[in-house]
Amino acid sequence: MFVLGLQGSPRTKGNTNMLLSTFLDEAERLGAHTHDVNVARLQISPCEECGTCEEEGFCPIDDDMQQIYSLLRQADIIVMATPVFFYGPTAQMKALIDRSQALWARKYVHKLSDPGQKWRRGFLLSLGATKGKNLFEGITLTAKYFFDAVGASFDGSLTYRQIEGPGEIAKHPTAFTDAKEKARTLVTPFLKRKKVLFVCTENACRSQMASAFARYHAGNRIEAESGGSAPAQEINPLMEEVMEEKGIDMAFRKPKSIEEATRFLIPELIISMGCREACPFFPDVQNEEWNLADPAGKPIDFMREIREQVEERVRRLTAREDGLTRLTGKAYQVGTSRAGS
Ligand SMILES: Cc1cc2nc3c(=O)[nH]c(=O)nc-3n(C[C@H](O)[C@H](O)[C@H](O)COP(=O)(O)O)c2cc1C
């Protein structure tokens, strides 16, 4: 599972950084894969309100935000961490938030569902120098709408007043223990999911669709990854198109090799799409063969037919009892803030 931390303070050794690092270190210790983005060190231009994202679904500004879109899409948990600057997030963090308008447009204008959006959680860490009652109101509202745009349900916040000089957060009596406890509460249910790897040759069509459907229908019970023995450069545009017909958004996905796909996921079940020889060998791991025809280079109707077959197989996989039973005891439900813990 993947936890993405967005660190918005320009002070690299400041309070926000210390608080976020404590959260991420605990998540990593529990078994999550984490990635800490130092937002102030990136080149992220402010939104120019050009309207391209509403028309075409992507942002034309070619800067570091392009890599953030894909990280946001991969994340199971997003932690937005920022100090209070004039009752809002820092300008660097705000630029990132405004540029997430491209994801807002894909969701609300283009009516596409990111496969992870039902299960992804968003959490806010913030602090400021003063003790005003309303200190975190602006940031909390901004965080809620940011998380909604990027397909994450808001899971609350930890906020600290009267923290000013660099490192002062370390003197707070509970801040670090709070952050560790919250990391445990959020991460643990995700770690209990069954780890499934979908494999084909190019990781451009079938295994991409299978992992997206698995995440979409059962991302609370399955941690899905996909990879190919000879990955293509890009995912197949016809595959993207037929998934969009179903309302599922495949944007920001890239084919991966099997090595990349298993860097942070040790599979418990490997499902081959129809090219068993491409399958990696993992000792003691359940293997399955779905025997689906390769739609690459075939007409769009054939791609649609394979999409239907893949979804049906994924539905059967998620409905059946065997390989997934150990996860069904306490399903992780969206909408309950401490579900599954
Ligand atoms: C430009 C700027 C604006 C700030 N605005 C506020 C504010 O509105 N309210 C507040 O309580 N603290 C404000 N602060 C103080 C910071 O929130 C505080 O020093 C915080 O601990 C900095 O966190 P960091 O070490 O992670 O950067 C401001 C600081 C700066 C530099």
Residue 23 Cα, ligand 1 centroid: separation in angstroms?
A: 21
pLDDT digits (tens, 9 = 90+) for 58-71: 999 999 999 999 99
Q: How confident is the model at residue 279 (pLDDT cuts 50, 70, 90)?
A: low
Instruction: Collect all residues with Cβ–Cβ distance below 8 Å to 65 and sequence separation of at least 6.
Output: 42, 44, 45, 59, 96, 99
* Residue 319 CB neighbours (<10 A): 10
Q: Is residue 332 scored above 90 in pLDDT?
A: no
Q: Is 11 in the pocket of ligand 1 (CB under 6 A)?
A: yes
Residue nearest to atom 18 of ligand 1 (CA): 164
pLDDT tens for each residue of 107-148: 999 999 999 999 999 999 999 999 999 999 999 999 999 999
Would you say the pTM of this structure is higher than 0.85?
yes
Q: Band of the pLDDT at 280, cuts 50, 70, 90?
A: low
Tell me, in angstroms, the distance from the centre of ligand 1 to residue 164's CA: 7
Identify the pLDDT of residue 63: 98
Q: Given this model, what pLDDT does residue 122 score?
A: 98
C-alpha pair distances (Å), 78 with each of 85, 168, 226, 275, 325: 21, 25, 22, 35, 28
Query: Mean pLDDT over all residues of the chain?
Result: 92
pLDDT at 265 over 70: yes
CA distance 270 to 232: 20
